[in-house]
Structure 1
Amino acid sequence: MTDPAVQSPTIMARETAEAPARCAEQLKRNADLVREAGRRLRALAPPFAATLARGSSDQAAAFAKVLLETRAGVPTLSHAPSIGSLYRATSAHFRDVPLIAISQSGRSPDLIAAAQDAQRQGALIVAIVNDAQAPLAQIADICVPIHAGPETSVAATKSFIATLVALTHLVAEWSDDDALRDALAAVEETLQAAVAADWTPAAALLRDARAMLVLGRGLTLPIAGEAALKLKETSRIHAEAFSIAEVAHGPMTLIGAGDPVLAFGPTDEARAGLRDRLADFRARGAHVIAAGLDEDVAAATLALPGPSIGHPVLGAIAQIQSFYGLANALALARGLDPDQPPHLAKVTRTL
């Protein structure tokens, strides 16, 4: 199969294809640092944790929430940047609570201000950044660099994948989870297989779409959220992400004959109900494009290739790796440049 980076000259395609090697290198370089961070967080034994992020990084934060609550037993909330940056109202209950601040650039003013406000209340700032010299990294109590290398396409790809891997590594050490540690040892092989998995046939079903639903649950709901964001950014499709469990509470009425639905099927307990939900959409005449276990996606119009076995955390990360190849191909099919979406910049300077 032709390497997607060879098929397309876009920067997005080339950077996406770098992710497997970058993630493997990250795990090696961060081994001691993350092991010590995990020990420190276990000893801290906080009553809860919080995340701080925007955009794609906020989808990574949602992934961290699922990991922390299911693997480490730590309730995790999303701390809105404006609470600290505009209102200066960060709660005193943040004392000795880890605030995981996620930013590829580490330079967004609102995130820095919110982190500083939380730090004044005694929060432990854990920065997940690509640039270890960035201002956010410099104020952090713990900094975990993702080592993704320079990323010049406006649409973040390898940095998002590397952030998911860094968060998984941190939670594996925090929760002392040997199964998750063992799964991470196969990250390069798993992601290389995901690069090779060809999702581009789905572009034909999505080329003329104006709006669509993107579904996930558990570990794959943040993956669906990131995919919906990328479909907006690179293909100008009004894509909205919903939980497979929640979509029947209203949004399902929007879907009729010929409408596209993209589903990221989880491979753990969260897959409950997926098969029936996809069958419901097919019965309405929707074009259902789905990744997941074979028995769950049997009703799909197009079942997407991917590993059907393996650790569910790596399986979810592999799905976004494969999706980026589709997102690149779809943007080109719609006559758009995925590297330079209009009205967007690499660093968003929200106040």
Structure 2
Amino acid sequence: MATEIAEIPAMIERQLTEGLEQYWQTGARWRTDNPHGFVTCARGTSDHAATFFKYMMETATGRPVASIGPSVASIHDTKLKLDGFVSLAFSQSGGSPDLVALQKATAKGGADTVAILNETQSPLGTASGTVLPVLAGPEKAVAATKSFVGMLVASLSLVAGYTNDVDLKMSLGSLPDLTRLVLESNWSHAITPVARASSIYCLGRGTSLAVAAEAALKLKETCRIHAEAYSAAELLHGPIVIADRKLAVLSFDSGLAASASVHAAETRLVNNGARVFSVNGRHGILPLNLPGGVTEPVLPILQAVAFYSFVETLSCLLGENPDAPEGLLKVTETV
């Protein structure tokens, strides 16, 4: 896992060299096709990448993006009606039968099928009309890291192509150097409070909610720590009542429009006694070792990279095996 995290800057460079134009052209084709909206097909870490795509595409274009549960097709055999939609699948392996079943069902329902895959020669790739390679290279650790980051980069590129946003496309060129800086971030002061907490809340809003969801999953997968992800708004609709001194919070603030609500939620949590560690925020700051002015849309990518380095270190200090957590397989096949 540590090796693969360290490979992220080089992977992004490879994407920019070998994949960017295909991502851009696919987005540009969508602009011409003018779809009604998008549906996504994914599980686990890849589903968190789909969440990032959702918020980026919806806020940039106004086109709705909705997740369809794979069981709708794989178990219930529902006949979908998706004329004028794009079905976008996200997967590292492309091997889970339920994802393949859903992608085939969306195609039968009239959708334009596209897949963002690390393993392009896979059943999900075969079921998709267009395959966009993540270009992460071999990923052997059970807990996916670089393929997730690669999916976020691909998502930004697709949105840039759809909106013809040349500035966004150019901003991707800074990511290799920025991720190298992020890998030097020091979050050591959060290790003991997180390790000793009875539970963890991972907080986000908009695009950073995708990172919060991924952080909660990785804490469970690699550290055996119970963690849940919440929108800064959703937190106030109930979950905040159990926030006390036994709770630790990792808060991912992606800047700009969502910052005020994230900061307000952080303040409520602190007032309740929780230990709040804000990534690029105000309370118990977890530094990103970045120059000033880096905000959405690239900031969530950098937050994810910094968190991955932190959680791998935490897992090892807890005596766990982050490369191969007990009870998990690299390729999970569900129906």
Q: Give, in whole Å, the separation in 2 of the partners of 1:260 and 1:56.
A: 22
Secondary structure class of the residue paired with 2:63: coil
Q: How does 1:333-344 map to 2 (within 5 A)?
A: 333-344=317-328
Using the TM superposition, give the Cα deviation of residue 311 of structure 1 relative to its aligned residue in structure 2, in angstroms.
4.1
Q: Give, in whole Å, the separation in 2 of the partners of 1:157 and 1:60.
A: 11
Match of 2:298 among 314, 324, 329: 314
Q: Give, in whole Å, the separation in 1 of the partners of 2:69 and 2:33.
A: 23
Residue number in structure 2 paired with 1:212 = 200
How far does the alpha carbon of each residue in 1:318-338 deviate from its partner, in whole angstroms, 9 at most, with x for none? 000000011011111211111
Matched, 1:119 2:107: yes
Match of 1:107 among 82, 95, 106: 95
Using the TM superposition, give the Cα deviation of residue 274 of structure 1 relative to its aligned residue in structure 2, in angstroms.
2.6
Residues 347 and 278 of structure 1, relative CA distance in 2, 3 Å threshold: same
Residue number in structure 2 paired with 1:348 = 332
Match of 1:178 among 160, 166, 177: 166
Which amino acid counterpart does residue 105 of structure 1 have in structure 2? Answer: S
Q: Give, in whole Å, the separation in 1 of the partners of 2:235 and 2:111.
A: 36
Match of 1:304 among 265, 268, 287: 287
Secondary structure class of the residue paired with 1:272: helix
Secondary structure class of the residue paired with 2:11: helix
Using the TM superposition, give the Cα deviation of residue 286 of structure 1 relative to its aligned residue in structure 2, in angstroms.
1.6
Using the TM superposition, give the Cα deviation of residue 61 of structure 1 relative to its aligned residue in structure 2, in angstroms.
0.5
Matched, 1:84 2:68: no
Residues 186 and 305 of structure 1, relative CA distance in 2, 3 Å threshold: closer
Match of 2:263 among 275, 280, 292: 275
Using the TM superposition, give the Cα deviation of residue 179 of structure 1 relative to its aligned residue in structure 2, in angstroms.
2.4
Residue number in structure 1 paired with 2:86 = 98
Match of 2:40 among 37, 48, 51: 51
Using the TM superposition, give the Cα deviation of residue 302 of structure 1 relative to its aligned residue in structure 2, in angstroms.
4.2
Q: Give, in whole Å, the separation in 2 of the partners of 1:255 and 1:243.
A: 15
Using the TM superposition, give the Cα deviation of residue 202 of structure 1 relative to its aligned residue in structure 2, in angstroms.
1.3
Q: Give, in whole Å, the separation in 2 of the partners of 1:122 and 1:199.
A: 48
Residue number in structure 2 paired with 1:151 = 139
Native 8 Å contact 2:197 2:246 kept in 1:
no
Secondary structure class of the residue paired with 1:196: coil
How far does the alpha carbon of each residue in 1:84-122 deviate from its partner, in whole angstroms, 9 at most, with x for none? 112121422x12311000110011111011111111112
Q: How does 1:218-257 map to 2 (within 5 A)?
A: 218-257=206-245
Secondary structure class of the residue paired with 2:21: helix
Q: Give, in whole Å, the separation in 2 of the partners of 1:237 and 1:176.
A: 42
Native 8 Å contact 2:120 2:133 kept in 1:
yes
Secondary structure class of the residue paired with 2:233: coil
Using the TM superposition, give the Cα deviation of residue 139 of structure 1 relative to its aligned residue in structure 2, in angstroms.
2.5
Matched, 1:331 2:315: yes
Q: Greater CA deviation, 307-316 or 61-70?
A: 307-316
TM-score, structure 1 as length reference: 0.92
Q: Structure 1 stretches of 5 or more lacking a match? A: 1-11
Q: Structure 2 stretches of 5 or more lacking a match? A: none
Q: Give, in whole Å, the separation in 1 of the partners of 2:157 and 2:186.
A: 27
Share of identical aligned residues, percent? 37
Match of 1:72 among 61, 73, 98: 61
Native 8 Å contact 2:23 2:132 kept in 1:
yes
Q: Give, in whole Å, the separation in 2 of the partners of 1:17 and 1:283.
A: 37
Which amino acid counterpart does residue 324 of structure 2 have in structure 1? Answer: Q
Q: Give, in whole Å, the separation in 1 of the partners of 2:240 and 2:84.
A: 42
Q: Give, in whole Å, the separation in 2 of the partners of 1:64 and 1:166.
A: 9
Native 8 Å contact 2:222 2:315 kept in 1:
yes
Which amino acid counterpart does residue 231 of structure 2 have in structure 1? Answer: S
Which amino acid counterpart does residue 183 of structure 1 have in structure 2? Answer: S
Native 8 Å contact 2:198 2:246 kept in 1:
no
Native 8 Å contact 1:27 1:169 kept in 2:
no
Native 8 Å contact 1:199 1:325 kept in 2:
no
Q: Give, in whole Å, the separation in 2 of the partners of 1:240 and 1:309.
A: 29
TM-score, structure 2 as length reference: 0.96
Q: Give, in whole Å, the separation in 2 of the partners of 1:303 and 1:18.
A: 22
Which amino acid counterpart does residue 263 of structure 1 have in structure 2? Answer: S
